[in-house]
Structure 1
Amino acid sequence: MEISGKVALVTGGAHRVGRAITLMLAGAGAHVVVNYHTSADAAQQTVAEARALGATALALQGDVADWSAVQAMAATIQDHFGGVDIIVNSASLFQRTPFPTPEIDTWKRVTAVSIDGPFFVCNSLVPGMKARGSGVIVNLVDLSAWQPWPHFTAHAVGKAALLALTRQLALELAPIIRVNAVAAGPVLPPPGMAPDRAAAIAKRTLLGRWGHPDDVAQAVRYLIEADYVTGEVLTVDGGERYGWGRHAG
């Protein structure tokens, strides 16, 4: 799909990797909708940067895990742009969920954002995509979709489910709409990460370093533009998935 002139929604598009994807799309000539939940200031800043690139940009607040909120967001997008051509499901909630756990609220919240959110967004906007005659969906997962992470049960299960949803929607929506995923590795240390911890994570990649959010954004661009690719996942992790072999034995 040619990006220029298309309408793109990026959930969680206000900051970090989502911001890089938003600005990549804006720079490529798309009209961008930045969905955010609580990051209002970051969303407005990202929208301002997108507009500086010449894009039409709109920030929309909404909890993707709330079906009513997603329906309202879809209606607003329809009013402003007549629908979307590109959906990037980037919203995520990264919280520890040890197992067993004395409370289930965190489990419910994390899985609601990572599983229900993309389902709600696609379910609301895909009919309009079909009416427009084409569309592309890209979902963001990570290595926990394959490898369990200690103390992050909800996150790992949610990403594995999102990868399964990617393949299921690719099947259900072909040939009109293509659906793929990007599995990001260490591309941006979280705030407050200790330098020794960041160095240890870099060391376990084959390339020996952290990546950049733009690395993920460029992978998303490839999957949008690659018209013969659907139902696939592109791993952008500096070789972290196989880095254990460097230190084995």
Structure 2
Amino acid sequence: MIGNAALVTGAASPLGAAMALALADLGFDLALQDVASTVNLAEQVRANGRKAVAMEADMQDAAQLDALVSGAADELGGPLTCLINNTAPLSPDALMTLSRGEWDQSMDAALWAPLRLAQRFAQQAPKGMRAQNGEPFAQNLILNIIDQRVSDCAPDFMTHSIAAAGLKAFTKTAALDLAPDIRVNAIGLGPQRPGQYQFAAHASDQRFPGEGFANFSEVAAAVRYFSQAPAVTGQLMSVRVE
């Protein structure tokens, strides 16, 4: 029987950790990637009875991305059945000052890395199953994490706004391409408190209606939902605190 094994990128952040722990609660073994150490998080997951391995990779290096997926599967003892792409950088830039190098760096991290990881994930993912009625049952899941820029573009975060829209489009097109074996969905993340994902100077004017910051427990609930919804694909769920 194929077990549940997930690769979570950007796992060292509070957001990444919340999603990883939500998967662990569902019985997933975890490969945890980030530029910062995920050793403590891995120990926490192991203390709850699941396998966990801390991994490092340069998200702009194709060879390291390939090795990340294969290495995660090897370390966890079987194919990955879940991939969470949570690596989009957030740095300010603007039309009149943006350089080609800055554009390439931002797009590589925000779009190319999720695409490359999805390619390698799909190559090793087990085939979908069938329900009792004969309908395809996709046990594999790719989740892309997108912030509010997907619907609220900002000229001082130009490449990030463009990349968010691109990741939404990638979610829908990949869902069509990878069906019925793999579901591809996205979580649209609301504004977060300074220091968790964005700059303090921008936190106050990046609220969704209701004046609430994104709550990581709500994001974890969205992860649990998508993990347990085998008929849902190509969807973006906006997580807001109203």
The CA deviation string for residues 171-228 of structure 1, in whole angstroms up to 9 with x for no partner, is: 001111111100000233326965x965555xx4333322322211211211111122
| Alignment match, 2:229 | 226
Contact 2:19/2:219, CA 8 A, preserved across alignment:
yes
| Alignment match, 2:211 | 208
SS at match of 1:58: strand
Aligned residues, how many? 230
| Alignment match, 1:244 | none
CA distance in 2 between counterparts of 1:102 and 1:176 reads 40
CA distance in 1 between counterparts of 2:205 and 2:122 reads 42
Are residue 128 (structure 1) and residue 90 (structure 2) matched?
Answer: no
Contact 1:14/1:46, CA 8 A, preserved across alignment:
yes
Alignment of 1:15-34 (within 5 A): 15-34=13-32
| Alignment match, 2:190 | 185
Q: Which amino acid aligns with 1:101?
A: T
CA distance in 2 between counterparts of 1:67 and 1:233 reads 27
Q: Which amino acid aligns with 1:229?
A: V
Alignment of 1:92-131 (within 5 A): 92-101=88-97, 103-131=99-127
Are residue 163 (structure 1) and residue 163 (structure 2) matched?
Answer: no
Using the TM superposition, give the Cα deviation of residue 130 of structure 1 relative to its aligned residue in structure 2, in angstroms.
3.9
| Alignment match, 1:56 | 51
Over 3 Å off, 4+ runs:
130-134, 191-194, 196-201
| Alignment match, 1:69 | 64
The CA deviation string for residues 65-120 of structure 1, in whole angstroms up to 9 with x for no partner, is: 21100111122123222220001111121111111225332222111111001011
CA distance in 2 between counterparts of 1:148 and 1:216 reads 22
Using the TM superposition, give the Cα deviation of residue 14 of structure 1 relative to its aligned residue in structure 2, in angstroms.
1.6
SS at match of 1:100: coil
TM-score, normalisation: structure 1 = 0.84
TM-score, normalisation: structure 2 = 0.87
The CA deviation string for residues 24-53 of structure 1, in whole angstroms up to 9 with x for no partner, is: 1112221011011x202xx11111111122
| Alignment match, 1:173 | 178
CA distance in 2 between counterparts of 1:58 and 1:147 reads 36
CA separation of 1:145 and 1:193: change in aligned 2, threshold 3 A: closer
CA distance in 1 between counterparts of 2:11 and 2:118 reads 16
Cα RMSD of the aligned pairs, angstroms, is 2.2
SS at match of 2:125: helix
Contact 1:35/1:62, CA 8 A, preserved across alignment:
yes
Q: Which amino acid aligns with 1:56?
A: K
The CA deviation string for residues 112-140 of structure 1, in whole angstroms up to 9 with x for no partner, is: 11100101101111111144754111101
SS at match of 1:29: coil
CA distance in 1 between counterparts of 2:155 and 2:10 reads 25
Using the TM superposition, give the Cα deviation of residue 160 of structure 1 relative to its aligned residue in structure 2, in angstroms.
0.9
CA distance in 2 between counterparts of 1:170 and 1:82 reads 23
CA separation of 1:199 and 1:113: change in aligned 2, threshold 3 A: closer
More helix by share: 1
Contact 2:147/2:191, CA 8 A, preserved across alignment:
no
Q: Residue 12 of structure 1: which of 10, 21, 25 is its match?
A: 10
CA distance in 2 between counterparts of 1:167 and 1:217 reads 22
Are residue 85 (structure 1) and residue 88 (structure 2) matched?
Answer: no
